Amino acid sequence: MARRRQLYEGKAKILFEGPEPGTLVQYFKDDATAGNGAKKGTITGKGVLNNRISEYLMTRLSEIGIPNHFIRRLNMREQLIREVEIIPLEVVVRNVAAGSLATRLGITEGQRLPRSIIEYYYKNDQLNDPMVAEEHITCFGWAATQDLDDMVALTLRVNDFLTGLFLGVGITLVDFKLEFGRLWENEEMRIVLADEISPDNCRLWDAKTGEKMDKDRFRRDLGKVEEGYQEVARRLGILPEAGPRDMTGPEVMQ
């Protein structure tokens, strides 16, 4: 295999130089961290599953006109993506109270929110990714007001679409995190969805039983972590063993 230049190593992914200018290769690791690196571990097969799940979701989002960095999956653990200038924000959407919202505001986990909430966090490990307001974002120049407007509009569309997609396979989309980047094409800049969408950055609960099928199984030592990720892929009809031509498509739940 040709040697490639590694550009960045994060907690769950590695970015390599891509085969053409303006492209990168995103490699999905099995490493898992929680609490900003305080808890470390490995979830066997997670990288393979997240690569497939993120490919599937980004492709579905492209089909409804949500611009994103995904080009194509290369192999079990790698996908080709467009190189974007990452905006240093995590955009969190919440439909049901859970995690830090439940803890911070003393709201019972599992309570459906009367409307979806969008929160912003500044991506900075040293500062523990603090929550920030729109005023901080524009004041410190992390994103312009127009960029934020674009990000919010895209985020709400992603939330509506993914909520329906997951509900169709018996999963409640409780909350999730998105990241965005700036893509430059002929002097024109577009805000596009970047990073990944997978059980690492979504809370996914069985719609009937409330059973968790996401990284909370790792964060909270609930056991059967691998099984949670596999079940999400299975319900979406994209377990890797099936191979691209054998994909059965989503399993509709009654």
Q: Which residues contact ligand TMP (rule: CB under 6 A)?
A: 90, 92, 98-101, 129, 175-177, 201-203
Smallest gap from Cβ 242 to ligand TMP, in A, equals 26
Q: Which is nearer to ligand TMP, 23 or 42 (CB)?
A: 42
CB of 22 to ligand TMP, least distance (A): 26
Min CB(131)–ligand TMP separation in Å? 8
Residue 105's H or E segment, with its range, is helix 99-105
Burial of 33 (0-12, 13-18, 19+ CB in 10 A): middle
Q: Residue 233 Cβ, how far from ligand TMP at the closest point, in Å?
A: 17
Between 117 and 153, name the residue whose CB sits nearer to ligand TMP.
117
Give 117 or 144: the residue with its C-beta nearer to ligand TMP: 117
Closest alpha carbon to 233 in 47, 106, 100? 47
SS (H, E, C) 112-148: EEEEEEEEEEECCHHHCCCEECHHHHHHCCCCCHHHH
37: which 2 tokens?
């690196």
Which of the 8 DSSP states describes residue 191? Answer: E
Give 111 or 248: the residue with its C-beta nearer to ligand TMP.
111
